[in-house]
Chains A and B, each alone.
Chain A
Amino acid sequence: MSASEPGAARAGPPGGNRPKRRRKWGRIARADAFWGYAMISPGLIGLLTFYIWPMLQTFYFSFTEWGPFGDARWTGLSNYRALFDGPEFLLALGNTLVYTVLSVTITEAIALVLAVLLNQNLRGLSVYRTLYFIPVVTMPAAIGLVWRWLYNSDYGVINYLLGLLGIEGARWLSDPGLALYAIVVVGVWSGIGYALVLFLAGLQTIPTDYYDAAAVDGAGALVKFFRITLPLLSPTVFFVTVISLINSLQVFDLIFLMISSGRGASTSPVIEQTQSLVYLFYKDTFVLNEQGQGAAVVLTLFIIIVLITFAQFRLQRRWVHYD
């Protein structure tokens, strides 16, 4: 058995004028492919074990009901039907969408303005750039806890400062009408740096000639921004939007850290108005120990994310300029 020539034994059906060349190329390509696969195998194995396999399992589990200690039992679509039994799922879906739309649009708007302002040659700019990026490299757990203290209506800094101005502060995190927006603010604050860095990189690829030409034609700053900067930055805006939408739709940590109290979130009067789909997944899976129900929630979220992302790629032709 010739182990060194596995290709020879399996060469395709003879015929045509090319088999000889093909065999030679095939062997090299195969050897290359082998090493190629060998090189990516650590990543690939990790991906298969920790992402793809659990995803398939989650898909399966969403059609099952779990006993207190495992033992999944097939129950068909009942978990998906249960999503619409009470208002909880639809409320969570609504919260997630409100959070996502607000945080993505506000983050990008602020980041864009800041990026244009920071895209200059001035002293000390790198300090500002660093400052804006710090929240991005801060642990979400720390962000959640610190903001929770800032927001505290009895001892928090925000209400204290408002008090100095003679304004009575609100109950930011325990007023059902405010809590979600308070979380959006934190989401925006922590997300600006990321969008900002990408926008800055995008801005620097725009040739200055365009601006010079526009200046000659007598264009003002606003015209330049809307006619040159924005169109040429659109690929970056598109990329940032796709990524931030996906991230925002999966919001969990801020809600978990800022809303829950000593006895978890169960006693919070605002949990219904703030819980996101991933939070609902967490509650079903880890608090109620209903893994099947939790799987149905995340799978629904997955489908929503896929649809939204797909739609974005279809719609990009209308507004993204790749030149």
Chain B
Amino acid sequence: MRDEWVSLARGLSRKEFLKLGGAGLVAGTGLLGVAGCGGNSSGKVTLRYGIWDQAQMPAMEEIVEEFSRANPNITVEIELTPYDEYLSKLQNAAQGGTLPDVFWMEPIWFELFASNDILRPITDQIKDNGIDLGTYPENIVRFFQYQGDTYALPKDFDTIGLWYNEKLFDAAGVPFPEQSWSWQDFTDAAVELTDPSNGVWGTAAPLDPQQGHWNTIYQQGGCIVCEDGGRLRSGYDSEAAVAGVEFWTDLILEHKASPTLAEMTETEPFQSFFSEKIAMIYLGSWNAVLLKEQKEVAESINVAPLPEGQQRSTCTNGLGNVISADTEYPEEAWEFARFLGGDKAMDIQARTGTVIPALKGTAGLWVEQYPGFDAQVFIDEREYAEAVPISPDTAKWQEEEFAVLRNAWTGKVAVEDACAKLAGRMNNILSEG
């Protein structure tokens, strides 16, 4: 049987072999792989790579192409799933045994996956290949470690910046945001910039944790998920959290300097910023590539550090490329994951301006792609940045976070009461984990 397959494979040209069709090809190569006598050319492997960001597609395609050039026997198929469906798709795929071989992982979901043995540790490969984890930011490396094992090489990192439209500032005669801005400066400017007759809002206060209230809670010295003697508890029942949330709700309800939550669900603030109806907006560094594409607006926008609360802070996050525990091709998947964490892939991510690459020393190249923006702000902010909240099942309490806080955003419930209620629900979930 083995001989038959081998002679069949040898007797066919590559083109004819491909003509045998997908299923036959996979079955055939699988058998050849088991037989272990295939030459270099016959061990063709196709890996599936799961990602969620359309904006990063071109860079990912370029990386895959580069990888296949170096590893002609491995093809990589990129599978794009929108962010909102990404987590549930992964969970269902894990149940059905159809996870992509390699895929993007959010730190906030990581523990859920690692603790359920869904991911393949790469601790040994890192050691065997002499990879120095010190070349990556320490906090991102730690994002993807669980019980002494490492599961991913960092892909990128991000921070949040205050983007603003210079044209709207000039029109209102307000000086541009700068490093020294306090919360008060920001709020005052937002009020001044608001011009109902032209439909212009000073800012937008969406219910968006990572690009919104998580930052301001950190800036008041608060925490979202706090560690108390090894036990996790919600940080929402604190003055810092109430102040951090009120910063946003006040902009809508009190100062009328932002569209309401209802208005923002109909027209996303991001879109309104593009159409020059919003003067200032908190947006993550990963949006730079989209902002730059908006040619007419790009010229009049710029970015500044987040205003300072009781202290300086910004939320920081970073992705990793993880390997599925039941991948058929652990060797090849590791090769790919390693490539994704290597300098070539980092270089492509930086050169295309896609995201700030994680490998130390490559962020400068990303900044260079944005001569029109003070993109260095995002790198400098890392000094005081704080990580997104990590817990065993973040997705679960995040849904509560939205459900409870949206009533504070519409003014139906007082911020203090909403925060207390949310803390209670979160603590229930955190204590289960």
A and B held together in a complex: yes
Using a CB–CB distance below 8 Å, which chain A residues touch chain B? Answer: 67-70, 152-155, 171, 173-175, 259, 261-264, 266-270, 286-289
Please name all residues of chain B whose beta carbon is closer than 8 Å to the beta carbon of A68 when the two chains form the complex.
Answer: 91, 112, 116, 393
Partner of A69, one of B116, B206, B208: B116
Tell whether, in the assembled complex, residue A152 and residue B266 are in contact, meaning their CB atoms are under 8 Å apart.
Answer: yes
The interface residues of chain B, by DSSP majority, are classed as helix
Tell whether, in the assembled complex, residue A269 and residue B396 are in contact, meaning their CB atoms are under 8 Å apart.
Answer: no
Tell whether, in the assembled complex, residue A267 and residue B266 are in contact, meaning their CB atoms are under 8 Å apart.
Answer: no
Cα A270 to Cα B410 with chains together (Å):
10
Tell whether, in the assembled complex, residue B263 and residue A267 are in contact, meaning their CB atoms are under 8 Å apart.
Answer: no
Partner of A269, one of B94, B262, B395, B399: B262
Cα A62 to Cα B88 with chains together (Å):
19
Tell whether, in the assembled complex, residue B88 and residue A289 are in contact, meaning their CB atoms are under 8 Å apart.
Answer: yes
Please name all residues of chain A whose beta carbon is closer than 8 Å to the beta carbon of B118 when the two chains form the complex.
Answer: 69
Shortest Cβ distance from residue B282 to the other chain A in the assembled complex, whole angstroms: 14
Tell whether, in the assembled complex, residue A153 and residue B268 are in contact, meaning their CB atoms are under 8 Å apart.
Answer: no
Cα A259 to Cα B406 with chains together (Å):
14
Please name all residues of chain A whose beta carbon is closer than 8 Å to the beta carbon of B261 when the two chains form the complex.
Answer: 267, 269
Please name all residues of chain B whose beta carbon is closer than 8 Å to the beta carbon of A70 when the two chains form the complex.
Answer: 94-95
Cα A64 to Cα B268 with chains together (Å):
38
Cα A175 to Cα B265 with chains together (Å):
11
The answer to the question of B17 belonging to the interface, with a C-beta cut-off of 8 Å to chain A, is no
Answer whether A69 and B402 are a contact pair too, CB < 8 Å, given A264-B84, A267-B265, A289-B88: no
Cα A68 to Cα B113 with chains together (Å):
9
Tell whether, in the assembled complex, residue A171 and residue B95 are in contact, meaning their CB atoms are under 8 Å apart.
Answer: no
Shortest Cβ distance from residue A275 to the other chain B in the assembled complex, whole angstroms: 11
The answer to the question of B264 belonging to the interface, with a C-beta cut-off of 8 Å to chain A, is yes
Cα A264 to Cα B116 with chains together (Å):
26
Q: Could you write out 15 A-B pairs with CB less than 8 Å apart?
A: A152-B267, A153-B263, A153-B266, A154-B199, A154-B266, A154-B267, A174-B263, A174-B265, A175-B262, A268-B265, A268-B406, A269-B261, A269-B262, A270-B262, A289-B87
> B341-367: which have CB < 8 Å to A?
none
Cα A159 to Cα B75 with chains together (Å):
51
Please name all residues of chain A whose beta carbon is closer than 8 Å to the beta carbon of B94 when the two chains form the complex.
Answer: 69-70
The range of chain B's interface size is: 20 to 34
Cα A69 to Cα B114 with chains together (Å):
11
Please name all residues of chain B whose beta carbon is closer than 8 Å to the beta carbon of A152 when the two chains form the complex.
Answer: 266-267
Knowing that A171-B263, A289-B87 are A-B contacts, what are 19 other residue pairs whose CB atoms are under 8 Å apart, sorted by A's residue number?
A68-B112, A68-B393, A69-B91, A70-B94, A153-B263, A154-B199, A174-B265, A261-B265, A262-B268, A264-B84, A266-B406, A267-B207, A267-B261, A269-B261, A269-B409, A270-B262, A286-B88, A287-B88, A287-B399
Answer whether A267 and B402 are a contact pair too, CB < 8 Å, given A154-B267, A262-B268: yes
Cα A288 to Cα B88 with chains together (Å):
8
Tell whether, in the assembled complex, residue A173 and residue B266 are in contact, meaning their CB atoms are under 8 Å apart.
Answer: yes
Please name all residues of chain A whose beta carbon is closer than 8 Å to the beta carbon of B112 when the two chains form the complex.
Answer: 68
Partner of A67, one of B116, B208, B264, B270: B116
Cα A67 to Cα B91 with chains together (Å):
10
Please name all residues of chain B whose beta carbon is closer than 8 Å to the beta carbon of A263 when the two chains form the complex.
Answer: 84, 207-208, 402
Tell whether, in the assembled complex, residue A262 and residue B270 are in contact, meaning their CB atoms are under 8 Å apart.
Answer: yes
> B249-264: which have CB < 8 Å to A?
261-264
Cα A288 to Cα B91 with chains together (Å):
11
**Which A-chain residue is minimally distant from B403 (CB atoms)?**
A266
Please name all residues of chain B whose beta carbon is closer than 8 Å to the beta carbon of A67 when the two chains form the complex.
Answer: 116
> B369-411: which have CB < 8 Å to A?
393, 395-396, 399, 402-403, 406, 409-410
Tell whether, in the assembled complex, residue A288 and residue B399 are in contact, meaning their CB atoms are under 8 Å apart.
Answer: yes
Answer whether A261 and B268 are a contact pair too, CB < 8 Å, given A154-B263, A288-B396: yes
Shortest Cβ distance from residue A146 to the other chain B in the assembled complex, whole angstroms: 15
Shortest Cβ distance from residue A53 to the other chain B in the assembled complex, whole angstroms: 15
Tell whether, in the assembled complex, residue B399 and residue A266 are in contact, meaning their CB atoms are under 8 Å apart.
Answer: yes
Please name all residues of chain B whose beta carbon is closer than 8 Å to the beta carbon of A261 when the two chains form the complex.
Answer: 264-266, 268
Q: Pick the 4 closest A-B CB pairs, nearest first.
A: A174-B262, A266-B402, A70-B95, A261-B265
**Which B-chain residue is minimally distant from A153 (CB atoms)?**
B266
**Which A-chain residue is minimally distant from B88 (CB atoms)?**
A286
Cα A270 to Cα B262 with chains together (Å):
8
**Which B-chain residue is minimally distant from A148 (CB atoms)?**
B266
Shortest Cβ distance from residue B403 to the other chain A in the assembled complex, whole angstroms: 7
Cα A62 to Cα B266 with chains together (Å):
35
Shortest Cβ distance from residue A267 to the other chain B in the assembled complex, whole angstroms: 4
Cα A59 to Cα B50 with chains together (Å):
32
**Which B-chain residue is minimally distant from A174 (CB atoms)?**
B262
Please name all residues of chain B whose beta carbon is closer than 8 Å to the beta carbon of A264 when the two chains form the complex.
Answer: 84
Cα A289 to Cα B113 with chains together (Å):
14
**In this complex, which of A69, A171, A264, A268 has the most chain B Cβ atoms within 10 angstroms of its Cβ?**
A69
Shortest Cβ distance from residue A273 to the other chain B in the assembled complex, whole angstroms: 12
> B73-95: which have CB < 8 Å to A?
84-85, 87-88, 91, 94-95
Cα A155 to Cα B266 with chains together (Å):
10
Cα A89 to Cα B207 with chains together (Å):
24
Please name all residues of chain B whose beta carbon is closer than 8 Å to the beta carbon of A173 when the two chains form the complex.
Answer: 265-266
Tell whether, in the assembled complex, residue B262 and residue A289 are in contact, meaning their CB atoms are under 8 Å apart.
Answer: no
